[in-house]
Amino acid sequence: MLDISIPLLQFISIIMIAPLLNGIMQKVKSLLRSSRGPSVFQPYYNIIKLFQKEVVLSRDASYISIISPYIVAIVPIIVAGFFPVFNSHTLFSFSGDIIALVYTLALGTFFLALYGFDQASSFGGLGSSREMTVSSLAEPAFIMIIFTFALQSNSTNISRIFELMHGDIFFQSPVSSILALMALYFVTLAEAGRIPIDNPETHLELTMTHEAMILDASGRSLALLEIGSFVKTAIFLTLFSNIFMPLGFYEASSFLAIFLGIGIYISKMIILAVIVSVGEISIAKLRYFRIPDAMMFGFVLALISMIIYRL
């Protein structure tokens, strides 16, 4: 019973904390702007409220608009089952799961872009084309980062990578690890749709990417799309925290180890959410045609990280 309870608890932890991270980011940004802002639990209220509302579809929309929100929500939820939070035992674990993670997330991005195109609106098509461009630029950097950590740990299994990073591997090649983490930060901002790559708070035609694709969504469909976005952000922050902050990872299955692991995990995620929020409020959004430069910078950092490690 304990063998399945720990993986389930880790899986539930990622899913449940995902909306909270978005609420914390909004709250921190509001406080830095000298305003009160919404409650950190507002995303939970929004999701519950949206599930109670009717779905309105365009007359030009096809079955893609019906199934895409479910796929966009389910894909990151499945990927969350790959991730260890405080223990190496996960729901889904196999030798190449970190590579499967990349392309499983890409499936969700693909259907999100299809949803935007299927609305037959100029905003949806604009957002989808921008999203696929950013995703295609971020994916090579993400793959390079993964290979860097896979080389350091001699494994493409996420649990194994996290377990070794919580040992002393991170400090065996600190320059390589730090450069890879800097690249991962750029990829996280791109995949999560945060400033300077995208601005989740705007509906201006010249700046929005993710919001343009879901502009015509409503009711349950919008709730599912938001859940997918929240969980995807939580996945990248979990990846970042369990490599950059090697604390709270225990092989023991005692109640104390589980309690400490969950507490440390939540603390790390809150710290990262605050860091992302401060970073967003401190810089301006990049012009769309400058985004490839930022993604190329992330790729070069990841490439240099791998080269340094091999040297």
Identity of the amino acid at 247? L
Residues whose CB is less than 8 angstroms from the CB of residue 228 and which lie 6 or more positions away in sequence, other chains included: 69, 72, 73, 74, 75, 76, 77, 108, 112
pLDDT at 221: 93
| Burial (Cβ within 10 Å: 0-12, 13-18, ≥19) of residue 1 | exposed
Q: Are 125 and 117 in contact (CB under 8 A)?
A: yes
Q: For residue 86, what are the CA distances in angstroms to 1, 56, 249? A: 18, 41, 4
pLDDT at 25: 93
Low-confidence ranges of the chain (pLDDT < 70): 1-2, 95-96, 167-171, 205-206, 250, 252
Tens of pLDDT along 6-65? Answer: 888 899 999 999 999 999 999 999 999 888 889 999 999 999 999 999 998 888 888 899
Integer Rg of the chain from CA: 19
C-alpha 179 chain-centroid distance: 19
Residues whose CB is less than 8 angstroms from the CB of residue 215 and which lie 6 or more positions away in sequence, other chains included: 119, 121, 123, 124, 127, 203, 208
pLDDT at 18: 95
Minimal CA–CA distance to 212: which of 201, 221, 222, 203? 203
Q: Are 77 and 15 in contact (CB under 8 A)?
A: yes
Residues whose CB is less than 8 angstroms from the CB of residue 61 and which lie 6 or more positions away in sequence, other chains included: 118, 119, 120
C-alpha 249 chain-centroid distance: 20
Q: For residue 285, what are the CA distances in angstroms to 149, 213, 280? A: 30, 19, 8
Tens of pLDDT along 266-293? Answer: 999 999 999 999 988 888 788 888 888 8
pLDDT at 310: 78
pLDDT at 171: 65
How far apart (Å, rounded) are the C-alpha atoms in residues 58 and 56? Answer: 7
Q: Are 115 and 108 in contact (CB under 8 A)?
A: no
pLDDT at 175: 83
